């Protein structure tokens, strides 16, 4: 019983560690996008809260105006595809 419980605890710890790493990775993307797109946000979409669908819609509507730095960060973060960028 103790051996089984220890194994369960180890599996749970590994799962939590993997989740923490995934979350930290996602936060890093978010921070890089925020840094690259801050100027574009203030220029075109500051009327909307940073977190939410309305700012995403605004940034997409202004996609042709966004800086290359912002667009590259959005592509790198998986927020926008290269195909979508090339079609604009």
Helix 68-76 to helix 2-40 angle (10° resolution) is: 160
Report, as an integer, the average pLDDT of 65-82.
Answer: 93
- DSSP code for 81: -
pLDDT, tens digit (0-9, with 9 covering 90-100), for 20-47: 443 444 444 588 999 999 999 999 999 9
Nearest alpha-carbon partner for 69 in 32, 42, 23? 32
Nearest alpha-carbon partner for 30 in 85, 82, 81, 77? 77
| pTM of the entire predicted model | 0.64
């Amino acid at each position: 019983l103790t051996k089984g419980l220890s194994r369960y605890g180890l599996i749970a710890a590994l799962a939590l560690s993997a989740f923490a790493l995934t979350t930290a990775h996602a936060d890093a993307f978010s921070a890089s996008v925020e840094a690259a797109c801050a100027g574009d946000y203030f220029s075109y979409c500051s009327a909307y809260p940073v977190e939410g669908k309305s700012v995403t819609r605004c940034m997409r509507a202004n996609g042709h105006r966004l800086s290359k730095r912002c667009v590259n960060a959005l592509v790198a973060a998986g927020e926008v595809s290269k195909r979508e960028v090339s079609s604009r």
